[in-house]
A = this chain, B = another copy of it.
Amino acid sequence: MKKDSKSEIVKAAIELFNSNGYSGTSIRDIAELAKVNPATIAYHFENKKGLLEYCFTSFFEQYTHLIEEAYVQIDQGAKACLKRIVANLLHFQCENILLASVVYREMSMNSQIVREILTTYSLKEKFYFQKIFERGFEWNEFRPHSIPYLMIQLKGYLTMPFMNAHYIREVLFIFPNEPFFEQKYLRAINSWIEHNLSVASIKTKEVMIN
């Protein structure tokens, strides 16, 4: 019973944070939508900030786990590892599309929660991506690039459809909750990995000359 009310509260909070923003949502709104007493929210999360913190943490715990899990197989190749991580993160975000949108929008604020997330999860993510790029250069899989600028590009790909949900839907008529979005968008990112990041095209040229 307790567990159900907790997940109902989280579900309602994500929906309301998404449509009205975190500041535009009250505990009363959440209690009403989740059909619980405001005291139940206080019991589980203390206050609205605690609820947002819970959203952030559960998002980034899973996000980081997906990176760590795939990184274990780095010895099979840096490019393969990067592709696996991108596919997993994209799938996770498409499955949790409202949560991803809420998290990314709130991450643009300069709040205490955001600073905490940056110094734990984002630095961990940076650590793994940096390792993968470095291995890729070392093993001659990737062309030399500036790692921070690669990170901006990669993070741009991974966050854009969730940060600009209205733009994507209303201007491009693309709906990230539909299954073919994930496939087509993954193909677009993989094309970037193949053509911009990898040395594969140079190798092909050598093969054609020999």
Contact = CB atoms under 8 A, between A and B. Distances in A.
Interface of A: 19, 21, 23-24, 101, 104-105, 107-110, 114-115, 118-119, 122-123, 126, 145-146, 148-153, 155-157, 159-161, 163-168, 170-174, 184-185, 187-188, 191-192, 195-196, 201, 204-205, 208-209
A118 B167 contact: yes
B192 A196 contact: yes
Contact of A188 (B21, B149, B157): B149
A166 to B, nearest CB: 6
Nearest to A122: B171
Contacts of A104: 108, 163
Contact of A108 (B122, B123, B165): B165
A24 B22 CA distance: 10
Dominant secondary structure of chain A at its interface with chain B:
helix
Contacts of A110: 19, 166
Contacts of A115: 166, 170
Contacts of A157: 153, 156
A102 to B, nearest CB: 10
A49 B164 CA distance: 21
